[in-house]
Amino acid sequence: MYAVVEIAGEQVKVEEGNTVRVNRLQGDVGEKVTLDRVLLLGGQGDPKIGTPVVDGAAVEASILSHGKGKKVIVFKMKRRKDYRRRNGHRQPFTEIMIEKIAS
């Protein structure tokens, strides 16, 4: 069974037992999180499609870790104007493990 869930503004396809990296979530490591914005349920016959969410469906997950992604360099330049700006960014993420998909 799989589900498409909206987590922190992103749509993510999840299955039981998978680990997923999403934008930073509130909560401590080891804490349980319930994701109730389920947009689609599939894997058993016909898929259930929400309008916009599937009624009564939820995904239970636990937080494994928090961290930062790889550094991305942002470089701005205007030719012949002696304008150069170099900036770096590391996107914070949360790694979660999907434990149960309840329909």
Note the pLDDT of residue 43.
87
Residue 44 has pLDDT above 90, yes or no: no
Residue-wise pLDDT tens digits, 9-25: 999 999 999 999 999 99
Note the pLDDT of residue 45.
85
Contact 59, 35 (CB under 8 A): yes
Residue-wise pLDDT tens digits, 64-103: 999 999 999 999 999 999 999 999 999 999 999 999 999 8
Name the DSSP letter for residue 64. E
Distance separating the N- and C-terminal Cα atoms of the chain: 10
Q: What is the Cα 14 distance to its own chain's centre?
A: 10
> Bridge partners of 73?
88
Residue 94 CB neighbour total at 10 angstroms = 22
Q: What is the pTM of this model?
A: 0.84
